[in-house]
């Protein structure tokens, strides 16, 4: 069984859930509006997640560019 993420971590499954919710909420967005832009972004994120192939419950690590 994979390690469970800490409470402050986000998983790929969580990101997918938020993206799918955004797609549902913006389904009737008029073209060239802010909601339509959010919908396009959500479709892009979903495409990236579909290409990734990593376990859905794997924690996502966001690097801080100031740490370099």
Torsion of CA 25, 62, 12, 43, to 10 degrees: 40
Q: What is the pTM of this model?
A: 0.70
User: Tens digits of per-residue pLDDT, 9-49?
Assistant: 788 888 889 999 999 999 999 999 999 999 999 999 988 88
- The pLDDT, as a whole number, for residue 1 is 47
CA 3, 1, 48, 19 dihedral sign is negative
> What pLDDT is recorded for position 13?
85
């Amino acid at each position: 069984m994979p390690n469970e993420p800490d409470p402050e971590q986000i998983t790929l499954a969580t990101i997918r859930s938020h993206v799918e919710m955004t797609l549902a909420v913006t389904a009737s967005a008029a073209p060239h509006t802010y909601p339509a832009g959010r919908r396009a972004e959500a479709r892009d994120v979903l495409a990236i997640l579909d290409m990734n192939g990593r376990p859905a419950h794997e924690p996502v690590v966001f690097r801080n560019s100031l740490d370099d």
